[in-house]
Amino acid sequence: MVSIKDISVVCGVSVATVSKALNNYKDIGEETKARICQTAREMGYVPNFASKVLKTNRTYNLGVLFKDAAQSGLTHDYFSYVLDSFKETAEDKGYDITFINGRVTGNNRMRYLEHCKYRRFDGVVMACVDFYDPEVLELIRSDIPLVTIDHVYNNRSTVISDNVKGMRDLVQYIYRMGHRRIAYIHGTDSAVTQRRLSSFYKTCEDLGLEVPPEYVREAAYRDTTRAWIRTMELLRLKERPTCILYPDDFAYIGGLNAITESGLKVPDDISTAGYDGIALGKYLAPPLTTLEQDTRRLGMEAANMLINIIEHPKTTLADQILVEGRLFEGGSVKRLPAADGEQ
């Protein structure tokens, strides 16, 4: 293996000069720096990562704690895009990422915090986990730099989708299309669900819409079976809704199956809308009306925020970044006559 000393001999300079050139120090001439770097490349020099860790006290490795209730892993249509953006941004800044799973050797089980210390992560990003799990809270209370996605803790930085505005934009659009009987199949209890549900009720109230209790039902995110059941329940109501909102675009597939099996058609007989803006929804016929989340910006902001905490620990305060989505009108919401001449 080629060493810095080998390069110094070939270039006829000191080991210190080679080290400065390879680390892009400014107190040596550009011509000398270029010659040393070129020689290092030609000799096949690879930096000693262990030495870098000892020198900087950093591993340049970020932990990712991601686990959704449906156990979908990286097939999760929404979070896979968020984490891909996080990975791309982190790698551009010289960091690797490793998923935290708690299993390190064989069947030995480590708590999340133990795994983070074992891997010596410089920082951790958390997404779609049970944020009240004792192991998660132990990690939150630790001194490891950490950023959460879509959940807020005191004194921890977070990147959040603007679910309040997103739901408001979605309901207002459906209202403008003439709908006054709007049902909502929401996800299971979480900070995201609470914001969306509160925004749904508040927007309906502001628009003067009554929301009967039977119009609001629960189904887990990405649970097509439960969405099918809840949709059937809504369709059997004496006065069924004219539009049904789903917890996410993937769960909507179950709802669409229920509507089709009931001999109805979207949007002619009943209108529908999802949430997230995954690619699948755009290939349906008709394309699903939904709220597209900015997954790329969510991941990018989370990576930049975490790396800033790691590299500037004394000057970085806990912060909260709100990321807006945008309405995708699609074609699953029919315009009703009630919209004509009405504000």
Beta bridge partners of 245: 184, 273
pLDDT for res 78: 86
Query: Does the CA dihedral 230-232-238-241 come out positive or negative?
Result: positive
Contact 160, 150 (CB under 8 A): yes
Q: What's the CA gap between 5 and 14, in Å, rounded?
A: 8
Burial of 260 (0-12, 13-18, 19+ CB in 10 A): exposed
Residues 83-96 have pLDDT tens digits of: 999 999 999 998 99
**pLDDT value of residue 149:** 93
Pick the residue with more confidence: 209 or 47? Answer: 209
For the chain, list the domains and their CATH numbers. 61-161+296-325 (3.40.50.2300), 163-293+327-339 (3.40.50.2300)
- Residue 30: other Cβ atoms inside 10 A: 9
Between CA 343 and CA 333 the distance in angstroms is: 18
- Model confidence pLDDT, tens digit, residues 255-307: 999 999 999 999 999 999 999 999 889 999 999 999 999 999 999 999 999 99
For residue 72, is pLDDT > 50?
yes
Mean pLDDT of 61-71: 81
- Please give the pLDDT value at position 340: 47
SS3 217: strand
pLDDT at 52 over 80: no
pTM for the predicted model, two decimal places:
0.80
Residues 6+ apart with CB under 8 A from 285: none
Residue of 326, 14, 15 whose CA lies nearest to 173? 326
